Amino acid sequence: MTLLRVESLEARHGLLAAVRGVSLTLDAGETLALVGANGAGKTTLLRTIAGAHAAASGRVLLDGADVTRLPSHRRVGLGIALVPEGRRLFPGLTVEENLRVAGTRARPGRWNLETLLEAFPLLRPLRRQPAGTLSGGQQQVAAIARALMSNPRVLLLDEVSLGLAPRAVEDVYASLAQVLGEGATILLVEQDLGRALNVASRVVCMLEGRTVLEGSSRELTRERVTEAYFGLRRAGAKA
């Protein structure tokens, strides 16, 4: 069942077209990885889906309902949660306070403070610690947990491994394993092609604001994705 549908979406930064006619679907329980070089439009696409950036044209539909013109807080209430690039936790609040703030208007569901501390045991000893004192990997796990506090139907993860040491990336993905294993619906922006191909059932590659390659992660090779990533493959955009 298609849970999220993006139709001919356009988004701009002033006169610059950052997202150009992007269409994609995300089924319930699916993990879709969005890859592409810096400036490809990935972050703007996620922010537009989440309502943090205005769409110039096109539509975003959640379970068939058009949410394109709804503000971001309304989309959170309907089940779209974004983990933004750079985490953006409240640095002066503790980990627990960050989670509780996110849970004030949560949808009914499995995730609450205790279930998240069980799912992300790395956070339990840090729960009283100010978020600004955590390492980058710890902050990323806390940001994912904060998004889950709203019990989203669709989780948007932007640049999960960006700027993290390899060990921290391992810790973040280990923490994500239970969420992925429970069949969460995830749209993931990831610069690490190996990670993207390993965790996602499908991969979409963006270049200059457009989708240039799409296919099953089992069928797409690293070489094909790399060609699309750098604009070396223009013909046969859809796999």
Q: Residue range 202-230: average pLDDT?
A: 91
- Is residue 234 pLDDT above 80, yes or no? no
Give, in degrees to the nearest 5, the angle at Cα 141 between 186 and 171. 100
Nearest by Cα to 26 from 67, 60, 76: 60
Report the C-alpha gap between 90 and 221 in whole angstroms: 40
Q: What is the pLDDT of residue 192?
A: 84
Whether domain 2-86+150-229 has CATH 3.40.50.1010: no
Residue recorded with tokens 């690490």? 192
Contact 210, 22 (CB under 8 A): yes
The pLDDT tens digits for 13-61 are 999 999 999 999 999 999 999 999 889 999 999 999 999 999 999 999 9
Domain chopping of the chain, boundaries = 2-86+150-229
Q: What is the pTM of this model?
A: 0.90
Tell me how crowded residue 114 is: count the other CB atoms within 10 A of its CB: 9
